[in-house]
């Protein structure tokens, strides 16, 4: 993109001019563009000179800017494996491994579940919340393994996402925590809000002060302990309207953070390289649009190694 500076730009720093003249560019992005040499000034001879952040503009000067793409559409990636647990004309239930993003975060990124999905089912490109989430009714954290639901028609997508929003899908998770002092069954009813100091986390608003300051959304997680071995409990949790990081933040709030969950203070365990959370069960009672379904998925090997269970 080439920008010609106006009389109003004269005397202003180029970084500030770019923030004002190019929609969507924040100060952090502009700073990075300067640092990477992607902002250049056109000299009187027509050649390009690398600009620095402190350069000051003058009327008539032209600036060449390599504007980063903001298109995060999921590009088809047939080389990324895709594990389909259930396939019908209306829905897909997928097994996402730990370590794989559900959807791409950067333009052109590959390797996400969405990339593999749109490569095998190209009709999903026109369905979903956005082009980066083709057909996907919900997401899982990158290091959470397990079941992900996708719709193959727009009608099925509306039905299933409405049911998710209203808590009418039965979604269950398996997790590992330290067993000491954990009741065998429980309900965690603590509102959640974006963390005011760390965008990577959410804040479980336990203290009335946090409730007043952060206006949390209601969030409820119910759980039961399924088994215990060597001080580690295998727990099944339900969060029908699960918000971002809900289970992770809720168990940390009751002093039982998930094993391996360093973001929420979980203990490090030899042999475990991610937080111990697995979406293992998904069921829908059915309606006139989408018939009933129920899918169960065993614990992956890295988590099953820590517990004795009759699951599967």
Element (H, E) at 176: strand 170-178
The C-alpha atoms of residue 172 and residue 154 are separated, in whole angstroms, by 25
Q: Which of these three, 166, 187, 204, is where a domain ends?
A: 166
Of 9, 55, 141, 143, which residue is the catalytic one? 141
Q: Same domain for 42 and 79?
A: no
Q: Which of these three, 166, 189, 217, is where a domain ends?
A: 166
- Residues in CB range of 310: below 8 A, 6 or more apart: 227
Residue 24 has a pLDDT of 67
Q: Does residue 141 carry a catalytic annotation? A: yes
Looking up residue 202, the CATH number of its domain turns out to be 3.30.2350.10
Residue 69 has a pLDDT of 66
Residue 312 has a pLDDT of 43
Domain enclosing residue 6, as ranges = 2-65
Number of domains within the chain: 3
Residue 181 has a pLDDT of 96
**Per-residue tens of pLDDT for the chain, all 312 residues:** 888 888 888 888 888 888 888 776 778 888 888 888 989 998 888 889 999 878 888 888 889 988 776 667 899 999 999 999 999 999 999 999 999 999 998 788 899 999 999 999 999 999 999 899 999 999 999 999 999 999 999 999 999 999 999 999 999 999 999 999 999 999 999 999 999 888 899 999 999 998 999 999 999 999 999 999 999 999 999 998 888 999 999 999 999 999 999 999 999 999 999 999 999 999 999 999 999 999 999 999 999 999 864 444
Q: Same domain for 176 and 247?
A: yes
Residue labelled with tokens 């494996």: 81
Six-digit token string for 174? 């398996």
The C-alpha atoms of residue 28 and residue 17 are separated, in whole angstroms, by 14
Predicted TM-score (pTM) of this structure: 0.78
Q: Same domain for 151 and 52?
A: no
Residue 18 has a pLDDT of 85
DSSP 8-state assignment for residue 61? -
């Amino acid at each position: 993109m080439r920008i010609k500076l106006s009389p109003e730009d004269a005397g202003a720093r180029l970084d500030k001019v770019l923030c004002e003249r190019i929609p969507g560019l924040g100060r952090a992005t502009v700073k990075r563009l300067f640092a990477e040499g992607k902002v250049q000034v056109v000299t009187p001879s027509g050649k390009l000179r690398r600009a620095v952040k402190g350069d000051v503009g003058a009327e008539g000067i032209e600036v060449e800017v390599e504007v980063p793409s903001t298109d995060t559409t999921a590009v088809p990636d047939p080389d990324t494996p895709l594990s389909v647990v259930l396939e019908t004309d209306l829905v897909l239930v997928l097994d996402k491994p730990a370590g794989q993003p559900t959807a791409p975060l950067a333009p052109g990124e590959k390797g996400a579940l969405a990339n593999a999905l749109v490569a095998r089912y190209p009709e999903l490109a026109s369905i979903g919340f956005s082009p980066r989430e083709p057909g996907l009714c919900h997401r899982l954290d990158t290091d959470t393994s397990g079941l992900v639901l996708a719709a193959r028609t727009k009608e099925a997508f509306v039905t299933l996402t409405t049911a998710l929003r209203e808590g009418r899908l039965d979604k269950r998770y398996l997790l590992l925590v330290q067993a000491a002092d954990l009741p065998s069954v429980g309900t965690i009813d603590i509102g959640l809000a974006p963390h005011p100091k760390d965008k990577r986390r959410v804040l479980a608003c336990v203290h009335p002060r946090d409730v007043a300051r952060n206006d949390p959304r209601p969030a409820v997680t119910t759980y039961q302990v399924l088994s215990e071995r060597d001080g580690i409990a295998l727990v099944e949790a339900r969060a029908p309207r699960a918000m971002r990081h809900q289970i992770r933040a809720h168990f940390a709030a009751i002093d039982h953070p998930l094993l391996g969950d360093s973001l929420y203070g979980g203990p490090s365990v030899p042999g475990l390289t991610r937080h111990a959370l697995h979406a293992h069960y998904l069921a829908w009672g059915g309606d006139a649009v989408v018939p009933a379904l129920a899918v169960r998925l065993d614990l992956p090997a890295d988590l099953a190694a820590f517990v004795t269970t009759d699951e599967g």
